[in-house]
Structures are given as structure tokens and as C-alpha cells.
Amino acid sequence: MAKSKAKKLREKLTREGRMNPEVKRSEFVFVDMRSRTTKTKKDHLYQFKHKNHQSQDGNDGSFCFVYSFSAI
């Protein structure tokens, strides 16, 4: 891959003992400044592929009912 003209100039400056302009860059250059939003209710519901798998603790809303009749 070819080097850009600016990168060649920066490398030349460092070879000559002068200061590299990259050093003066702010730390905010590397920070992602986009605002983050929380998921909407619809986004949260569409996140799950299968029904009854939305609970994190394993409780899927189903239940078991056992009816026992004994005539003694």
C-alpha cells in the first residue's frame, strides 16, 4: 500500500529530528463522540428470535399443574 504525502512528510520531520505533528493531537481524536441511545421497546422485542426465551433467569412463563384425586 502506498504512503500518503502527509505521512511521508511526518516521517521526514522525525528523521530530521523535528517534532512530529501527531504528538500534538488531542486525545479526543480517538474518542467516539456519537451519542448512544437506549433500545426502544420494539428493538428489545425484536432482539429475541424465539418466544418465551426473554427471561434471563430461565423463567419462561410456563407452568406445570398436576391434579391428583384419590378416593380413600
Check residue 38 and give its pLDDT: 87
Check residue 11 and give its pLDDT: 94
Check residue 30 and give its pLDDT: 81
Question: What pTM, to 2 d.p., does this model score?
Answer: 0.38
| pLDDT tens by residue, the chain, 72 residues | 799 999 999 999 999 999 988 888 888 878 887 887 888 888 887 877 666 655 566 565 666 778 888 776
State how far the alpha carbon of 11 is from the alpha carbons of 8, 57, 60, in Å.
5, 56, 61
Q: What is the largest CA-CA distance in the chain?
A: 103
